[in-house]
Amino acid sequence: MKVIICGAGQVGWQIARHLSGENNDVTVVDNNPELVRRATDTLDVQGIAGFASYPDVLDRAGARDADMVIAATYSDEVNMVICQVAHSVFSVPRKIARLRSQSYLDVLYSDLYRRDHMPIDVVISPEREVADAALKRLATPKAFDAETFLEGKVQMLGLTLDEDCPVVNTPLRQLTDLFSTLSAVVVGVRRGGTLFAPEPGDQLFVGDDIYVFTLSTDVVRTMEIFGKQQKKQERAVIVGGGNVGLMVAQRLETSAFRVRTKIIERDRKVAERAAEALERTIVLNGDGMDVALLAEAGVDRADAVLAVTDDDKTNMLASVRSKSAGCPLAISLINDPTLAPLMTPLAIDAFINPRATTVSSILRHIRHGRVRDVYSVGDTEAEIIEAEVLSTSPISGQMVRDVDFPEGVLIGAIYKGTEVIKPRGGTRIDEGDVIVLFSLTADVPEVERLLQVSIDFF
- 220 and 110 part of one domain: no
- 382 and 436 part of one domain: yes
In contact, 237 and 290? CB cutoff 8 Å: no
- 18 and 98 part of one domain: yes
Residue 306 resides in a domain: yes
- 240 and 334 part of one domain: yes
Residue that finishes a domain, picked among 327, 352, 377:
352
pLDDT in tens, 114-133: 777 888 988 888 888 888 88
- 286 and 391 part of one domain: no
Residue 145 resides in a domain: yes
Can you tell me the distance from the alpha carbon of 360 to that of 384, in angstroms, rounded to the nearest whole number? 9
- 115 and 147 part of one domain: no
CATH number of domain containing 385: 3.30.70.1450
Q: Specify the pLDDT at position 369.
A: 53
Can you tell me the distance from the alpha carbon of 399 to that of 54, in angstroms, rounded to the nearest whole number? 52
- 327 and 239 part of one domain: yes
- 289 and 312 part of one domain: yes
Report the domain count for the chain: 4
Q: Specify the pLDDT at position 239.
A: 96
Can you tell me the distance from the alpha carbon of 213 to that of 201, in angstroms, rounded to the nearest whole number? 18
Strands (DSSP E) along 102-225, which ranges? 122-124, 145-149, 154-160, 185-191, 194-196, 209-215
In contact, 380 and 356? CB cutoff 8 Å: yes
Can you tell me the distance from the alpha carbon of 347 to that of 333, in angstroms, rounded to the nearest whole number? 14
Residue 230 resides in a domain: no
- 6 and 114 part of one domain: yes
Domain that holds residue 372: 358-457
- 249 and 342 part of one domain: yes
Residue 36 resides in a domain: yes
Does the model's pTM come out above 0.85?
A: no
Q: Specify the pLDDT at position 453.
A: 44
- CB contact set of 219 (below 8 Å; sequence gap of 6+): 140, 155, 157, 230
Q: Tell me, rounded to whole angstroms, the distance of Cα 366 from its chain centroid.
A: 15
Q: Please, what are the averages of pLDDT over each run of 10 residues along the chain (458 residues)?
A: 91 83 88 95 94 96 95 93 96 91 75 80 85 83 86 91 89 84 90 91 92 91 86 87 91 82 96 93 94 94 94 94 93 87 87 80 68 80 89 89 91 91 91 93 86 46
Write out the H or E segment, with its range, that includes residue 359. helix 354-363
pLDDT in tens, 412-445: 999 998 899 999 889 999 999 999 999 998 898 8
DSSP 342: G
- 171 and 204 part of one domain: yes
Residue that finishes a domain, picked among 84, 106, 124:
124
Residue 312 resides in a domain: yes
Residue 273 resides in a domain: yes
Q: Specify the pLDDT at position 454.
A: 39
Residue that finishes a domain, picked among 352, 382, 408:
352
